[in-house]
Structure 1
Amino acid sequence: MLTLLGAKSAAASAARGGYFLFHWPLLAAIAFALSGCMPATTSVATADPADPAAKASHVGYRSTVAPYTSLRPATPAPWQDRNDAVTPQPKQDR
């Protein structure tokens, strides 16, 4: 892939009649090589989280299933009584 890119760059430079000063694959390789010279870590402004002696706030326990109520099926009741219990009451005529 890089060879093809270099060939295209060389062909474009030859077509323009001049020598192309920068070769992009070469610049990419130099940038990649120089990136290895960067420091691996930066200084931490606060306490290091990897330090076992670092102080941390206490965590309170909250159960995730505390408000649970069983949703087992209710005992069957006559459907007419259940429908009458949830239907809105008829309005009085004025």
Structure 2
Amino acid sequence: MLTLSGAKFAAASAVGGRLFRFYWPLLAVIALALSGCMSATTQVAGADPANPSAKVAPVGYRSTVAPYTSLRPAAPAPWRDRNDAVAPRPKQDR
């Protein structure tokens, strides 16, 4: 059928398109008729989002500013003391 449609299109365009302009209403009617035969909905893969009783994962709260520490300039101090204050503690021998 597609081959026949292609042949008709080629013949109509060779003639100058006079024959093809009569096919547009016919094609529109066929498209509307076929769209009326299709199912209105499709099967969704998961739970329907419109269903209020559908089970969903719990929502947890995580603060976006909780690990914030102020980065304002600190008072000058000897660099060795500041370095020792943030260095990891040495492990005890077992």
TM-score range, shorter chain: 0.3 to 0.5
More helix by share: 2
Instruction: Identify the structure with bigger relative contact order (alpha carbons < 8 Å, sequence gap 6+).
Output: 1
